[in-house]
């Protein structure tokens, strides 16, 4: 058989190499899976079992008490309503922010590539820079601006922040896609009398569906996982799930409930994990595009 | 050619023409304006504040380099910088080494490659707060790895890096490499797949072994992937904030502070706006020194 990659010598040596290859790959699988397995297993144990047993052992008696507590009665600061209300905060933040930033990125990428006006490249380069700034440099003015407009500590403020700072990436994704679309199609549509938006909605968007999926998944993951903006611009009740999770874990009052911490961490991570499992290939394409491969 | 046989007044036709000519600019301009204000305007504001006497409240009276002098005479800032060097150096090296190794191993036409790749990459889908919580528990000095190894029959075993001021930064490295090495693997695997099979076959005919083929032929071809991976990792390292917060919260004391946590602490907890702004500007300058030349070459190279 020819087609075994580079390691393709036949016979015993080949077999040993293949065995070694799979051993190393398998060991790394264990390393990557270990924290997830430990999280799940710890979340299913009772506190007594956690204290007596080893952190890596599977639960002897499975209990979902920690999950129930993490969902609706764990204390986040002084409030003991669990993670649930904060999960809804995250949903209320992530859905509008993803929809708006993806749509605007699509229009932008389309206008910058298919209606190339003078300065379009400069505008794109200037906008792209926004994707790479350390957000620390905008935290202070953003906090003041949100306060000035009465948006401080609200989900609306976070939607605005995530939309604005997500635009650079969404525009990048769509620009890279539309650059590859033949100009001839657009020219033909123009001659037929189709205008800017007609071409966009009827011709371009249907072609861009894979890019839309990549962008939505990228934005969803980024915004859901954000912590910096969440902790800087929201207070208490309006915290997103990541901030609430950190408050649950960092709370120093009472007995440390590791099982509840782990259940809360899994709950907070579940939405992005599910998206990754269901649409991993699109996620990887987003990562690759995020590396700004020319 | 104008659309035929449509009875329109000269005026609407004028508006149509105007729109046809300017609509793209009109659509792009609010977004461009947003970028100008929220990125460039805000940067200018932060830079300006870093040259003022601002303390709890922003002040607009210029004070020269006062805040930079205060920043560079703060011992905590040096701890943050030292940690950044240690963390980013080991983080980048670790992610590159593991990522490249795994990419090469996965490139050997493994049948269950898809499954393995999914396992290596899933941490990237999770928040650093989530994975930091997991690692904090695993590295817990009383109940985590330490206890596990002690019960294996090594009662004297000690592993308390998480609460050791000299070692705590390495726990951040461990969690960071675990989280991000899959990213490098994915970038390199894509790079390896893009190498022409003919070149590989020619190398095999020349009698080059697998190690030599990769080291001297394939990896040099995908040199750009090295550059973009390192840039992306450096960028992640400099911006790292949530991982440190979740794992050590900058502690013990401020032993694991990074510039990002330093800035946040001075801005929102100690209300030293001037020093916070100065540290943010230092971060921006560092990232710009890395990113701008890279973006410049990428954008130039990408143009046909």
pLDDT per position as a tens digit, A102-111: 999 999 999 9
Question: Using the beta-carbon criterion (under 8 Å), do B35 and A269 form an inter-chain contact?
Answer: no
Distance between CA atoms of residues B211 and B274, nearest Å: 54
Q: How many CB pairs under 8 A join A and B?
A: 285
ipTM over 0.85: yes
Closest residue of B to A287, CA-based? Answer: B183
Burial class (CB in 10 A: 0-12, 13-18, 19+), A286: buried
Tell me which residue in B27, B39, B187 faces A107 most closely, judged by beta carbons.
B27
Question: Using the beta-carbon criterion (under 8 Å), do B121 and A284 form an inter-chain contact?
Answer: yes
pLDDT of B303 = 46
Rounded mean pLDDT, A244-251? 89
Count the Cβ atoms, other than its own, within 10 Å of residue B44: 11
pLDDT of B76 = 93
Give residue for tokens 């910096």: A228
Question: Using the beta-carbon criterion (under 8 Å), do A123 and B229 form an inter-chain contact?
Answer: no
How does DSSP classify residue A59? P
Distance between CA atoms of residues B60 and A116, nearest Å: 41
The pLDDT mean for chain A works out to 87
Question: Using the beta-carbon criterion (under 8 Å), do B27 and A111 form an inter-chain contact?
Answer: yes
* % of chain B with per-residue pLDDT over 90: 45
Rounded mean pLDDT, A1-21? 67
pLDDT of A292 = 52
For the A84-291 domain, the top CATH level (class) is: mainly alpha
Q: Which domain holds residue B208?
A: 74-303
Which runs of consecutive H residues, i.e. helices, occur in B107-213?
113-121, 128-138, 145-151, 168-193, 197-205, 210-212
pLDDT bucket at B215, cuts 50 / 70 / 90: confident
Q: How many domains are contained in chain B?
A: 1
| In contact, A183 and A114? CB cutoff 8 Å | yes
Rounded mean pLDDT, B273-291? 92
Tell me which residue in B125, B183, B238 faces A272 most closely, judged by beta carbons.
B125
pLDDT of B61 = 83
Rounded mean pLDDT, A249-270? 87
pLDDT of A1 = 37
pLDDT > 80? residue B7: no
pLDDT bucket at B93, cuts 50 / 70 / 90: very high
| In contact, B162 and B168? CB cutoff 8 Å | yes
Q: Per the domain annotation, does B159 fall within a domain?
A: yes
Question: Using the beta-carbon criterion (under 8 Å), do B281 and A39 form an inter-chain contact?
Answer: no
Instruction: Tell me the per-residue pLDDT of B103-125, one tens digit each, with 9 for 90 and over.
Output: 999 988 888 888 999 999 999 99
What CATH number has the domain bearing residue B248?
Answer: 1.10.3720.10
Domain ranges of chain A: 2-63, 84-291
Q: Per the domain annotation, does B87 fall within a domain?
A: yes
Question: Using the beta-carbon criterion (under 8 Å), do A137 and B38 form an inter-chain contact?
Answer: no
> pLDDT higher for A48 or A216?
A216
Query: Which two tokens mark B228?
Result: 């973009």
Distance between CA atoms of residues B29 and B144, nearest Å: 54
Mutation for B interface: A47, A140, A217, A256, most B CBs within 10 A: A140
Q: Per the domain annotation, does B11 fall within a domain?
A: no
pLDDT > 50? residue A6: yes
Minimal CA separation from B75 to chain A, in Å: 20
Question: Using the beta-carbon criterion (under 8 Å), do B178 and A7 form an inter-chain contact?
Answer: no
pLDDT of B208 = 75
Count the Cβ atoms, other than its own, within 10 Å of residue A134: 24
Question: Using the beta-carbon criterion (under 8 Å), do A38 and B137 form an inter-chain contact?
Answer: yes
What pTM does this model have?
0.89
| In contact, A36 and A44? CB cutoff 8 Å | no
Closest residue of A to B291, CA-based? Answer: A132
Residues on chain A touching B147 (C-beta within 8 angstroms): 54-55
> pLDDT higher for B303 or B93?
B93
Burial class (CB in 10 A: 0-12, 13-18, 19+), B157: middle
Instruction: Tell me the per-residue pLDDT of B134-166, one tens digit each, with 9 for 90 and over.
Output: 999 999 888 888 888 888 888 888 888 888 888
Closest residue of B to A125, CA-based? Answer: B299
Rounded mean pLDDT, B253-263? 92
């Amino acid at each position: 058989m020819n087609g075994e990659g580079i390691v393709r010598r036949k016979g015993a040596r080949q077999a040993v190499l293949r065995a070694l290859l799979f051993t190393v790959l398998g060991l790394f699988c264990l390393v990557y899976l270990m924290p997830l397995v430990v999280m799940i297993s710890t979340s299913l144990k009772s506190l007594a079992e956690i204290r007596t047993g080893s952190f890596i052992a599977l639960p002897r008696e499975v209990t979902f008490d920690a999950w129930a507590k993490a969902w609706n009665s764990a204390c986040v600061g002084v409030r003991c309503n669990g993670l649930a209300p904060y999960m809804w905060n995250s949903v209320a933040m992530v859905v509008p922010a993803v929809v708006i930033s993806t749509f605007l990125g699509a229009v932008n990428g389309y206008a910058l590539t298919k209606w190339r006006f003078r300065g379009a490249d400069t505008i794109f380069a200037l906008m792209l820079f926004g994707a790479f700034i350390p957000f620390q440099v905008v935290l202070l003015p953003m906090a003041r601006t949100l306060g000035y407009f009465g948006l401080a500590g609200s989900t609306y403020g976070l939607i605005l922040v995530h939309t604005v700072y997500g635009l650079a990436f969404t525009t990048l994704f769509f620009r890279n896609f539309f650059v590859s679309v033949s100009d001839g199609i657009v020219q033909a549509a123009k001659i037929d009398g189709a205008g800017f938006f007609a071409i966009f909605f009827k011709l371009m968007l249907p072609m861009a569906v894979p890019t839309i999926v990549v962008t939505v998944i990228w934005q969803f993951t980024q915004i859901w996982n954000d912590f910096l903006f969440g902790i800087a611009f929201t207070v208490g009740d309006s915290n997103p799930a990541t901030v609430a999770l950190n408050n649950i874990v960092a709370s120093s009052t009472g007995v440390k409930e590791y099982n509840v911490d782990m259940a809360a961490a899994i709950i907070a991570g579940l939405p992005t994990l599910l998206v990754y499992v269901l649409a991993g290939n699109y996620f990887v394409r987003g990562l690759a595009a995020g590396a700004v491969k020319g | 050619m104008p659309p035929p046989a449509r009875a329109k007044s000269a005026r609407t036709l004028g508006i149509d023409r105007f729109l046809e000519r300017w609509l793209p600019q009109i659509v792009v301009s609010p977004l461009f304006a947003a970028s100008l204000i929220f990125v460039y305007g805000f940067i200018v504001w932060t830079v300006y504040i870093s040259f003022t006497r601002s303390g709890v409240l922003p002040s607009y009276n210029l004070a020269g380099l006062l805040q930079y002098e205060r920043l560079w005479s703060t011992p905590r800032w040096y701890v943050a910088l030292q940690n950044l060097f240690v963390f980013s150096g080991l983080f980048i090296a670790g992610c590159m080494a593991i990522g490249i190794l795994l990419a090469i191993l996965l490139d050997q036409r493994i049948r269950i490659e898809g499954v393995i790749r999914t396992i290596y990459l899933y941490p990237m889908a999770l928040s650093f707060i989530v994975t930091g919580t997991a690692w904090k528990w695993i590295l817990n000095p009383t109940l985590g790895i330490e206890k596990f190894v002690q019960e294996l029959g090594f009662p004297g075993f000690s592993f308390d890096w998480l609460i050791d001021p000299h070692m705590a930064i390495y726990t951040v490295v461990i969690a960071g490499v675990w989280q991000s090495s899959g990213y490098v693997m994915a970038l390199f695997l894509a790079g390896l797949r893009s190498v022409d099979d003919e070149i590989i076959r020619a190398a095999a005919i020349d009698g080059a072994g697998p190690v030599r083929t990769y080291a001297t032929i394939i990896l040099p071809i995908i040199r750009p992937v090295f550059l973009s991976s390192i840039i992306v990792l450096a960028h992640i390292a400099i911006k790292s904030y949530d991982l440190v917060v979740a794992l050590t919260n900058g502690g013990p004391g401020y032993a694991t502070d990074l510039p990002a946590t330093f800035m946040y602490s001075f801005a929102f907890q100690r209300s030293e706006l001037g020093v916070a702004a100065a540290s943010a500007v230092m971060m921006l300058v560092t990232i710009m020194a890395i990113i701008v030349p890279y973006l410049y070459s990428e954008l130039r190279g990408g143009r046909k």
